[in-house]
Amino acid sequence: MSILIIDDDTELCELVTEYLEDEGFTVDSVHDGPTGVEHCLANEPTLVILDVMLPGLGGFAVLSKIREISKVPVIMLTARGEEVDRIVGLEMGADDYLPKPFNPRELVARIRAILRRTAGVVEADVEATFVTVGDLEMDLGTRGVRCSSGEVDLTGAEFAVLETLVRAAGSVVSRDDLSRKALGRRASAFDRSLDVHLSNLRRKLGPLPEGGERIKTVRGVGYQYVKPATSAS
């Protein structure tokens, strides 16, 4: 598993590299935006750790260029307290974020959670290649999504959230269960990741063909993917 770190803090890169290599990852690091884009697109790492503040080309611009042609999972590093940076990063296609300073053990846990879901790992008792509810079809092998409006381009995190909801279509999934199953961690009152992923899914998927929202918020309980009455799934 190859990790690319794009961060101009060379000392941090050295520390994270040492820790990740001890965990069995291969790690490269670059220290400015343009080089980060070039290296990512040329070498196709398994996952990218991307700082928001970069010389030459900012982290959001780097993410935008990467997302133009690659679905590689991206973890954004943000300054602690800068919630707007975290939300913007997720809305632009980042899979997760981690505020600085951070515990390397938490970084590794988030990396492994992302890699599990982007590898298409499913529970052993599930053999289906496709999951279909109404007009929505999810291909678990290619991680492709289609609905009545056509192909839907999702990040790895968005796919995981949608898959969790669709597998329980018609039932309510609690916020904590959704966070644990899709993002690999318990829900936190201060973590907006799940909210942004759900907002992105609603925007990208649009309403049901017959009208009405696909993903309902059940206040105080959780979330539900609406199962059409005519769905055979």
Helical segments of 103-155, H only? 104-118
Residue 229 has pLDDT above 80, yes or no: no
Helix (H) or strand (E) holding 90: helix 83-91
User: Which pLDDT value is given to residue 129?
Assistant: 82
Name the pTM for this structure.
0.74
User: Which pLDDT value is given to residue 122?
Assistant: 42
Residue 14 has pLDDT above 60, yes or no: yes
Helix (H) or strand (E) holding 175: helix 175-178
User: Which pLDDT value is given to residue 121?
Assistant: 44
Q: Is the CB of residue 97 less than 8 Å from the CB of residue 78?
A: yes
Residue 233 has pLDDT above 60, yes or no: no
- For the chain, percent of residues with pLDDT exceeding 70: 92
User: pLDDT tens for residues 101-160?
Assistant: 899 989 999 999 888 876 654 443 345 588 899 999 998 878 889 998 899 999 888 999
User: pLDDT tens for residues 27-60?
Assistant: 999 999 999 999 999 999 999 999 999 999 999 9
Q: Which of 79, 104, 118, 97 is nearest to 25 (CA)?
A: 104
Q: What angle do CA 109, 115, 116 make, to 5 degrees?
A: 90
